[in-house]
Structure 1
């Protein structure tokens, strides 16, 4: 049924959506012009703000690149490939493959967004090896589970405001996760999306003649065909001794980290993936073979993230992000503020696609408004969080790791994701406003 909606959207995206790099350049120009026209920021000041902020996400860029690289290396190990193949064997049809990858993606993304992106992409590739299914929709289904991340265990806003001494603690205090992540309305939204996302993806499955398939041969792992030379260098590269030693060190640190109450962070996820990759590949040569394949999909992350950092700087330092938030929430009532906050967060997310950065921009506007109207501040904070997650469905920024792993372009999946933007937006808005 939804193919009637998704088909024209897929065609529109394929025709008009440019490469993500072109998209981020256009967003840069839009943000700069908006700062000039609506905030009255002088041109040279806009340029200065953009340039000064351009490199502010270097650490985060490296983290995101490592999400892709370490996740790929871990999943390309023989034992993980066999596990994914066994799980993929549960799908006997195209529809079953779509449902299965959707469920896995939603569940993994709720646990941790980085984990969800990598697992979803790699599982989609494994399914495409064994089931004849539209590859675009399969990868879009793997990405669609990402919609739940900010209502999940690694949501940056709810975890931030649950931490003693967070930046807005003096204004709103410490809000426990029982009032955000584990609140009734948030769990209801997550459960509704857990049911809806797979069904929406299944309903968008194109007919055979409209489907785009991928040759399973293209998804096969490269094999090491280099001859053994018997030299000391060759022995070091092919012995498991070094890998076992370094892997044991990594495993010991992880055990200590979790045993002492450490949580999941992006660095921890990357460290876990890398340690597992080192141990499970067995030898340095196998690991490096996997690495050479993994880095091929990382070019977009390397070049585009600095541009998003520049856009974020323009939005924040010019006051444009705050103006958008004020404009969309200034006329709200206690009943409608969650909806307008959600909507404003979705708009701001196009230009500031970072949960932490977006919270820093919107909290000074949203939280005083919630207090003045008598709205539960935990709900107001979660409205920002869900707005941030919502428009990720059509924001290529977060799709870069999954696209790099799957070998697709943003335009290949964004038509399907636009349907999720519409339908999931309705589910989230109802949950935030009524429940």
Structure 2
């Protein structure tokens, strides 16, 4: 049945879903028109919101570009290549490949979302080299595991409200992760998704005649050329000693961060880890730079699109449109249904504000008073917003950009399969938030 349902979804998306850059341009116009029509903002005011906020994600844009580049460099190092090949060797046929890449992506995304995006995409490429499998579904499966990130160890909303002095601390206090990430209802949702998502992906595997395969040779990176050293500068470029004198202290810093200081994973630490492990494992600066030149080719979408999303977020927040949308969706909520409607509203707002922390800043002033007025557990409502933010990433191509860049595909190639997962995971998460 799922295979049958996926066919029209894939064809529909392939035909009508534009390139992610066109998608962000359309979202910009929709947000601006809604701010003018619904919030009665003047065109000049909306233009100012957009222009003033256009560069607000520069730090985040660089972090995302580095996730792509450093992750690629690490995966292209000889030791990691051999590890990925061994793991990929566990897949005996296409069905195994789909299940394996989904499970690896789920685990990695639950640990850290940036880690999950890169590991899933790189593992999908390795599987495609070894198993004849529909490449579109394989990459879609790698991306679908990303949906669990906000219910995992790096969820920005539960970690925010667990931090002393967060911006709503006076209203709700500090809520530990035992009431959010490690609460029974959240763990139950995660377990159900760990079971359902791989099985759904496997069930959507198309027949051989409908599958789209990729020539494994196209996925092979060109072998590093043997350099004839004739100049002192070339000796430095090919010096293992130089690379390790810088790389090993970086690895020691990571050991200190995790083991002695009890630090956790965040985006900067993930990038630092990828980079310095890549420096050590590539052994020479020249090998690292050759990998970098290959990796950077896929970063164009991130560089050009993220500023537009920053502008959209500014319009949504500054005009009051995000708050209006949230209030409208929870206006008819009851004590029993508030978590569900919080989830739905967060999913819709996420299309325009694809940032977990940014979305909580927008929706918390609406959701928290509603939870208090209806006597609903605040931690459950917060996790409902978190899950809504993660859920519609299956429809919003913003977060798929690093995966698509690594895999060499377009959004239309995978989003048809993600659309089926959107429906099924939406049902599971809704039940978990309201009944568990």
Tell me which interval the TM-score lies in, with the shorter structure as reference length.
Answer: over 0.9
How many Å apart are 1:221 and its aligned residue? 1.6
How many Å apart are 1:231 and its aligned residue? 1.1
Other structure's SS at 1:209 match: coil
Q: What residue is the counterpart of 2:283 in the other structure?
A: 282
Q: What residue is the counterpart of 1:124 in the other structure?
A: 124
Q: Structure 1 residue 356 and structure 2 residue 357: aligned?
A: yes
Residues in 1 aligned to 2:5 and 2:314: alpha-carbon distance in whole angstroms: 36
Q: What residue is the counterpart of 2:115 in the other structure?
A: 115
CA distances 1:240-295 after superposition (whole Å, capped 9, x unpaired): 11110110121121122122121111000000000000000000000001001110
Residues in 2 aligned to 1:227 and 1:105: alpha-carbon distance in whole angstroms: 37
CA distances 1:54-89 after superposition (whole Å, capped 9, x unpaired): 000000000000000000000000000000000000
Q: What residue is the counterpart of 1:16 in the other structure?
A: 16
1:307-326 equivalence runs, <5 A: 307-326=308-327
Residues in 1 aligned to 2:55 and 2:79: alpha-carbon distance in whole angstroms: 39
1:201-280 equivalence runs, <5 A: 201-225=201-225, 227-258=227-258, 259-280=260-281
Residues in 1 aligned to 2:66 and 2:19: alpha-carbon distance in whole angstroms: 22
Residues in 2 aligned to 1:229 and 1:247: alpha-carbon distance in whole angstroms: 23
Single out whichever of 214-223 and 300-309 deviates more from structure 2. 214-223
Q: How many matched pairs?
A: 435
Q: What residue is the counterpart of 1:408 in the other structure?
A: 409
Q: Structure 1 residue 167 and structure 2 residue 137: aligned?
A: no
Q: What residue is the counterpart of 1:391 in the other structure?
A: 392
CA distances 1:107-134 after superposition (whole Å, capped 9, x unpaired): 1100100000000000000000000000
Residues in 1 aligned to 2:227 and 2:75: alpha-carbon distance in whole angstroms: 25
Q: What residue is the counterpart of 2:69 in the other structure?
A: 69
Single out whichever of 416-425 and 225-234 deviates more from structure 2. 225-234
Other structure's SS at 2:394 match: helix
Q: What residue is the counterpart of 1:99 in the other structure?
A: 99
1:127-206 equivalence runs, <5 A: 127-206=127-206
Other structure's SS at 2:230 match: coil
Q: What residue is the counterpart of 2:340 in the other structure?
A: 339
How many Å apart are 1:314 and its aligned residue? 0.2
Other structure's SS at 1:5 match: helix
Other structure's SS at 1:41 match: coil
Other structure's SS at 1:25 match: helix
How many Å apart are 1:222 and its aligned residue? 1.8
Other structure's SS at 1:208 match: coil
CA distances 1:15-39 after superposition (whole Å, capped 9, x unpaired): 0000000100000000000000000
Unaligned runs of 5+ in 2: none
* RMSD across aligned positions (CA): 0.7
CA distances 1:84-116 after superposition (whole Å, capped 9, x unpaired): 000000000000000000110111100100000
How many Å apart are 1:229 and its aligned residue? 3.4
Other structure's SS at 2:400 match: helix
Q: What residue is the counterpart of 2:329 in the other structure?
A: 328
CA distances 1:30-56 after superposition (whole Å, capped 9, x unpaired): 000000000001000000000000000
Other structure's SS at 1:397 match: coil
CA distances 1:326-360 after superposition (whole Å, capped 9, x unpaired): 00001100100000000000000000000000000
How many Å apart are 1:230 and its aligned residue? 2.2
Residues in 2 aligned to 1:249 and 1:229: alpha-carbon distance in whole angstroms: 27
CA distances 1:144-169 after superposition (whole Å, capped 9, x unpaired): 00010000000000000000000100
Residues in 2 aligned to 1:303 and 1:222: alpha-carbon distance in whole angstroms: 27
Residues in 1 aligned to 2:248 and 2:106: alpha-carbon distance in whole angstroms: 31
Other structure's SS at 1:225 match: coil
Residues in 2 aligned to 1:42 and 1:166: alpha-carbon distance in whole angstroms: 33
- TM-score for the superposition, normalised by structure 1: 0.99
How many Å apart are 1:227 and its aligned residue? 3.7
Residues in 2 aligned to 1:421 and 1:95: alpha-carbon distance in whole angstroms: 21
How many Å apart are 1:223 and its aligned residue? 1.6
How many Å apart are 1:226 and its aligned residue? 5.3
CA distances 1:381-414 after superposition (whole Å, capped 9, x unpaired): 0000000000000100000000010000000000
Residues in 2 aligned to 1:382 and 1:254: alpha-carbon distance in whole angstroms: 30
- TM-score for the superposition, normalised by structure 2: 0.99
